[in-house]
Amino acid sequence: MTPLRRTLVLGAAGAFALGAFAAPALAAEDTATVSVLHAVPGVPVDVYANGEELIPDFQPGTLTDPLQLPAGSYDLAIYPAGSDPATTQPAASADDVTVPAGANATIAAHLTPDGTPVLTPYVNDTSPVAAGQARVTVRHTAAAPAVDVRANGQVIAPGLTNPGEATLETAPGTVSADVVLAGTDTVAIGPADLTLAEGTSTIVYAWGSQDAGYQLAVQTIEGTHSSPSGVPGGSAGLVEPSVPLPVVGATVLGMVVLGLGARRLTAARD
């Protein structure tokens, strides 16, 4: 391990230590938010980052909580769970994966269309969603040809190919989602009920293989909401602040009395 490599690993280790409780405070600085998804059916794996074990015994169909990693370049690899990385070929690896500061990314371990394990880094859209809207991103990570993704029977992402993705903003709510072979009504996955909460990003992964079966995995990113642009509240002017009548009366009366007194005073002096 070169000295540079060593530094990187130590830095990463420190970030993992912090990640559990300091995530929001560091998010804006020189760190990136990274989640890892295991979408290779049937095989628990150990995930390594820059030669250090990051996630032991990572189960298919699970997703890590977001980690704060120092921005930089990472060599990622997955090995069958419990194997020795010194003597085992990785099941999949991705070298020099650049994680820029402030980015929000998901590293997905999944199958290519022909069934080979692969690691794909996806950049997650965390820009604000308009008030009253929800963002949904669909990603094709299954050993399958092109598909259409449907919500309530309507195609929302046509002709999606592995490892492609599509993003759209829509009204929030619960939709019945399924995945069909592109251009057909042959359902490959689902239907499954998906809750698209207002102001959040919901990322849906279609994953699996013909042999192991196809499934949906869901990742939710919160904190992308916007506030309403204002609060309208009245149209009649009934509660406009005004000086109450008794106060006006007393003031006018005071003026009259003052004038009267002043006249008497000047008259008396003459």
Partner 1 sequence: MRSEVRLPVLLVVLGVLLGVGVPTAWLLTRPGTSEGPPVAEVVAGSSGPAASPSRGSDAAGPEQAGSGGSLPSVTARPATPQPAETRPDPTRLTVPALGIDAPVDAVGVEPDGTMTIPEDVSRVGWYRFGPAPGAPEGSAVLAGHVDDAEQGLGALSPLSEASVGDQVQVTDAAGGSTTWQVVAREEFSKQSVPLADLFARSGPPRLVLITCGGPFLADIRSYQDNVVVIAEPV
Residues 70-129 within binding reach of partner 1 (CB under 8 A): none
Indicate the helix (H) or strand (E) that contains 269.
helix 245-269
State the Cα–Cα distance between residues 50 and 220, nearest whole angstrom: 27
SS3 (DSSP) at 16? helix
Q: Select from 132, 145, 183, 213 the one that contacts partner 1 (CB under 8 A).
A: 132
Instruction: Examine residue 4 and tell whether it contacts partner 1 (CB under 8 A).
Output: no
Instruction: Examine residue 270 and tell whether it contacts partner 1 (CB under 8 A).
Output: no
Q: Of residues 175-234, which lie at the interface with partner 1 (CB under 8 A)?
A: 192-195, 197-199, 205, 215-219, 222-223, 225, 227-234
SS3 (DSSP) at 146? coil
> How far are the Cα atoms of 52, 79, 81 from residue 87, in angstroms, in the given order?
15, 11, 13
Query: Nearer Cβ to partner 1, position 184 or 264?
Result: 264
Q: Of residues 52-71, which lie at the interface with partner 1 (CB under 8 A)?
A: 52-56, 58-59, 61-65, 67
| Neighbour-count burial for 148-165, b at 16+ CB within 10 Å, e otherwise | bbbbeeeebbeebebbeb
Q: Select from 2, 3, 28, 96 the one that contacts partner 1 (CB under 8 A).
A: 28
Instruction: Examine residue 13 and tell whether it contacts partner 1 (CB under 8 A).
Output: yes
State the Cα–Cα distance between residues 5 and 250, nearest whole angstrom: 85
Least spacing, CB of residue 204 vs partner 1, in Å: 8
Termini Cα distance of the chain: 112
Q: Select from 101, 123, 155, 255 the one that contacts partner 1 (CB under 8 A).
A: 255
Least spacing, CB of residue 153 vs partner 1, in Å: 17
